[in-house]
A = this chain, B = another copy of it.
Amino acid sequence: MEYPPPFSDSQLEDLVSDIKDWQVTHGSLLKLVNTDQDSTVLTHPVGACLFPTLFPKELVAEDEEWLYYMLKDDEFARILWGMHEEVKEEGYVQDHTLGIFRSDYMLDANPAGQVKLKQVEFNTISCAGGIHSNLISDMHRHLQRRGAYLPAVPSDSTTSINLSASNLPPSHTLSTITSGLISAHAVYGPPKSPDAEQTCILFVVQPRNFNVADERPIEYALWDQNIPTFRVELSPEVLARTSLTPTRELLYQPPSRPAAAPLEVSVVYFRAGFEAEEYSGPGCGDAREARVRVELSRAVKCPSILSHLTTFKKVQQALAVSGVLQRFLPSSGEAIGIANTFAQLYPMDTSAAGLEARKLAMDEETSEGYVLKPSLEGGGHNVYGSSIPTFLACTPEENWSRYILMSKIASPNVQNLLMSPQGLYKGPVISELGVFGVCLWRRSGEAEGRVEMIEDKEPCCWSFKTKSAGVDEMSVVKGYGCFDSPALVDNDVFTAYCRDGEQSP
């Protein structure tokens, strides 16, 4: 079976031109921050897949159910709360927390040709890519309706896969994330401080941000709901423009309103502060102070330090609890046990499992099948395969326990064309599905560390990224991979397609 469909040079040229124009006119772009001047800035389109990438339909449905289940589950909440001990000296005046999480999955094909989703990351702060994917999903659906994905020659469905609108699920990421922020803003209520006349949402962002296209649309959508929303850079701007009242309201003075009353911050949405370097680099000395000021305040945090500390590794442990994981398995009814999905996830500490992992990781041959990942917040900084022994040799042994060792994923054979400033690529690709979960919860009964789920947002929303199969790292904004949308096909069609691909030369 063939996919993408056969196309002529003229079709390709037309498609490329259409995609560039669509991206330019819809803000599917990255800023070239080095060109940023007072009066102008250059941009280029963010990497995009020319065709939506095939993805097995049943697994996506399963996954959504599973994520909702996980976010509502007491097991998960208990882990979140367990981290409270680490910041308990601070004390809280706000019982509510907003979570905008992104759980990342890749397809893993076992030797028998069966395909399943495997979790690769769980992100609890500054979850990005949702707005870009929303745009690319809209674009792929536009291109489908304009006939851009029709085959160059008439074909029948036994040899090629012809997409219809029903293969391309719409993305609701922008509206779902916005809706979560609106709920948190509403739960905060009117201003408490007599100095403030109204409340506002504050986005804490990185300086010299090239990825405004993934953040600004949320801000505009909030303004469309009459919720004042402002951006402040971590950290000097947070410290200069906010203050805590004695009763811990967080006040914000926008530069555009120097003569007006300050606003009281209802929600702080972090799109910064997720990397250790942001707290320790030169000129970042005050980021910790800024973060603590926000955390001490009455504002609803997205996320709180507590939920930020819910790292990938911890969530993986939660998933390993019996009964949670079953929901994640394909509906075929097979009794695939926990071991089958997470057995090859090891700590790198001095426990028995950790010592086994160290042995696998230090060996040139066995390390080939693994990825070494920092156990803190996911995304980037991974070490792949045969690079692991050398990396560990240069890393003090007392730091090894900050990593986990995870088996590499055997990706099914899927083809696509990728377009980015690095060029056009045609060949095998690997996709990553990020499922967003947006929920608002409240702690209740502090002594027991329990939480109560107030609201979780539907529809579920996602990001979808695709890279050349030959590239390890997946970071579109850094130039590895492209934003994409899934073309959902039946599992048996997907499996047959992948098998055909392996058999062809």
Contact = CB atoms under 8 A, between A and B. Distances in A.
Interface of A: 8, 10-11, 13-16, 20-22, 24-27, 29, 31-32, 36, 38-45, 142, 145-148, 150-154, 212-213, 216-217, 220, 223, 228, 230, 254-260, 419-424
Contact of A11 (B22, B258, B424): B258
A43 B40 contact: no
Contacts of A40: 20, 44-45, 419-421
A216 B11 contact: no
Nearest to A5: B259
Contact of A151 (B43, B255, B259): B259
B8 A20 contact: no
Contacts of A419: 38-40
16 contacts: A10-B258, A14-B254, A20-B36, A24-B29, A24-B43, A25-B212, A38-B419, A40-B44, A40-B420, A40-B421, A43-B43, A147-B228, A147-B254, A150-B256, A150-B260, A153-B258
B20 A41 contact: yes
A39 B422 contact: yes
A39 B420 contact: yes
Contacts of A32: 42
A350 to B, nearest CB: 48
A45 to B, nearest CB: 6
Q: Which of A11, A26, A146 has the largest count of B CB atoms less than 10 A from its CB?
A: A146
A127 B16 CA distance: 27
Given A39-B421, A44-B43, A421-B40, A150 B31 contact: no
Contacts of A44: 40-43
A228 B42 CA distance: 32
A-B pairs, 10 with minimum CB distance: A25-B27, A40-B421, A10-B255, A14-B255, A148-B256, A25-B216, A21-B212, A147-B257, A39-B424, A39-B419
B42 A259 contact: no
Given A24-B31, A146-B228, A216-B22, A258 B43 contact: no
Contact of A8 (B8, B15, B255): B255
A147 B256 contact: yes
Contacts of A212: 21, 24-25
A26 B25 CA distance: 7
Given A24-B41, A423-B39, A259 B223 contact: no
Nearest to A16: B38
A220 B142 contact: yes
Contact of A29 (B43, B145, B146): B43
A147 B260 contact: yes
A237 B456 CA distance: 52
A403 to B, nearest CB: 36
Contacts of A420: 39-40
A58 B148 CA distance: 48
Contacts of A255: 8, 10-11, 13-14
Contacts of A421: 39-40
A213 B22 CA distance: 9
A187 to B, nearest CB: 23
A258 B147 CA distance: 10
B16 A423 contact: no
B213 A25 contact: yes
Q: Which of A13, A258, A419 has the largest count of B CB atoms less than 10 A from its CB?
A: A258
Contacts of A38: 16, 419, 423-424
Contact of A259 (B15, B145, B152): B152
A98 B260 CA distance: 50
